[in-house]
Structure 1
Amino acid sequence: MEFTGVIDVTKVALVIGAMAFLVSVITEALKKIKWLDHHVPTALTVIVLSLILCPLCFVAAMCYLKQPIEWYMVFASFVAAFIVALTAMDGWERIAALAERMIPKARK
């Protein structure tokens, strides 16, 4: 697979969603540790996890695709990490609320 420079928004949304899911799952697992749950706010855990996982996954993907890594790509992965963190912290609740409001319920 060769990188053409064209951004496919659906792939970007898929990656952000997958990363947010991964961060959410790891955060829930870490919240089982009593000390961590009592001393570290969940939002901070999510942000730190996102800032670690997003650049690592980016580097892994670029190595897999055998593509060069430029400085601005690394910077973009950190920006994406904040988007992933916001999605993991609050995005799912907003999506569920929107779906509940928009999807008609079966009438009795």
Structure 2
Amino acid sequence: GTAFISIQAFPALLDLPQDLEVTEVSCGSRHTAVVTRGGELYTWGWGKYGQLGHGDNSSSDQPRRVEYLVAKGLRAEEVVCGPWTTYVHVLEPRGAQSPPDPTAACGEEDTGELCSC
């Protein structure tokens, strides 16, 4: 189904699990992303171009954890949202071979799933 995304001209409280501590926030034109102290990435908003990183183009009015990073064992460190994209600086697990560019991206001109650039 299609999620209803409200447009607000004022800040609103988020419904994140109580044990999450947010360390980074970034906003795109119509989406938002946060990084938690535990290295998880949560996104929500308009997802038409896959910028939420959930592997599809669905929108969400509630924060959802980006499971792709969890499945790959990657820790989000920083996030920057463009108008229709999301870029994440990630760290691989200790002992893993570091990628040349530890950046993941999703959104316009991508598949909607976070991937190494």
Which structure carries more strand by proportion? Answer: 2
Which structure carries more helix by proportion? Answer: 1
> Does TM-score exceed 0.5, indicating one fold?
no
Q: Does 1 or 2 have the higher relative contact order (CA < 8 Å, sep 6+)? A: 1
* TM-score of the aligned structures, taking structure 1 as reference length: 0.24
